[in-house]
Structure 1
Amino acid sequence: MSDGVPAWAYERVSVRPFDPRWADRARVERARLIELLAPWLVDGVEHVGSTAVPGLAAKPIIDLMASVNDLDVVVVDAARRFTVDGWCFVPPELDGRPWRRFFVKPDETGQHRIAHLHLVTSGHPRWGEQIAFRDALRRDGTLADDYEQLKRRLADRHEDDREAYTNAKAGFIVKALGLAPD
């Protein structure tokens, strides 16, 4: 592990059985983020990702997405608020996703992630795609089962590489959203 790199950055991919407490944790984090981001919020804060789908196995990390007008203004102006609340900023050059600003909230030990915040510019297509995929999984049990099986296989294959795990799910998500080219 490199000096200055937090332990949670090296956390292994681990898919766990559904936990009904995820929804409660998401509600608490969401309410807090609405307070923290109040001056900048446009379309609100959404619980997205697998923990937002009842019955679906997931990495035990609550994914939240917030819509704002200017990502970089929020990062600068809300930096102290985020730090006090336990959020760690992941710089865009490390995150590798220019369409968002990313924050991680580790547990009290600093070893494990408990939440992710994806700040997205209002109107960006990713906002609707994330919500559409979550909602498709909620509506379609077969799709959710297929996704869970894929996630378990990929977690076994890429347990030490979170980026490879995430990237390997992309084709399934694109297909589920009907965004795959003909």
Structure 2
Amino acid sequence: MSEVTPPWAYETPEIRPHDPRLLLAAETERARLAELLAPWLADGVEHVGSTAVPGLAAKPVIDLMASVRDPSAVVAQAGDGLAADGWCYVPPELDQRPWRRFFVKPDESGQHRVAHLHLIQAGHPRWAEQLAFRDALRRDGQLAREYADLKRLLAARHVGDREAYSAAKAAFVANALAGHAG
């Protein structure tokens, strides 16, 4: 990342009605990443997050998660290929989430995020948690509606603070995982 902070770095979270085109775009992006990251993949590339749940209101940003043997090696060895494909690396000291390596794909204008790539160490609990939460939302329409309502509330409360918005969802996610375990 350059010294200049890109506009997408502090983009305001905006919750929109479900857009089924994002499911198709995610599948295209997932397949592309599976090809780019093939030498490093352990458990594949998954579409997670709200855009992976049919009918769920979401930010129009596709979240993709790749299980890899060594996230830092992927950054070092595949970083140029990811950059050529439009992905921008967010260094760990900026991301503040030591359990992943993180990339953002902005739109052609460079103003808005269109996708996130979460590189996660194979076997890390976060992998299973992300999949379990996605699957719980897919199975339980009431849970999905409650989550959508919470996201709208938090997006309004945390305008301009994407990190606070994300952090404020943590208790809901933890409760949903506890209620849908097993």
In the alignment, is residue 60 of structure 1 matched against residue 93 of structure 2? no
Q: Secondary structure at the match of 2:89?
A: strand
Q: Please state how far the C-alpha of 1:3 moved relative to its aligned partner.
A: 5.6
Question: What do residues 56-90 of structure 1 show as CA deviations (whole Å, max 9, x unaligned)?
Answer: 00000000000001111110000110110000000
Q: Distance in 1 between matches of 2:142 and 2:10?
A: 32
* Unpaired runs of at least 5, structure 1: none
Partner residue, 2:37: 37
Q: Distance in 2 between matches of 1:59 and 1:132?
A: 20
Q: Secondary structure at the match of 1:110?
A: coil
Q: What is the TM-score with the length of structure 2 in the denominator? A: 0.96
Q: Secondary structure at the match of 1:39?
A: helix
RMSD, aligned α-carbons: 1.1
Partner residue, 2:16: 16
Partner residue, 2:122: 122
Q: Distance in 2 between matches of 1:60 and 1:86?
A: 17
Counting aligned pairs with the same residue, the percent is 69
Q: What is the TM-score with the length of structure 1 in the denominator? A: 0.96
Runs ≥4 residues deviating over 6 A? none
Q: Distance in 2 between matches of 1:3 and 1:90?
A: 12
Q: How many residues align?
A: 178
Q: Distance in 2 between matches of 1:14 and 1:159?
A: 9
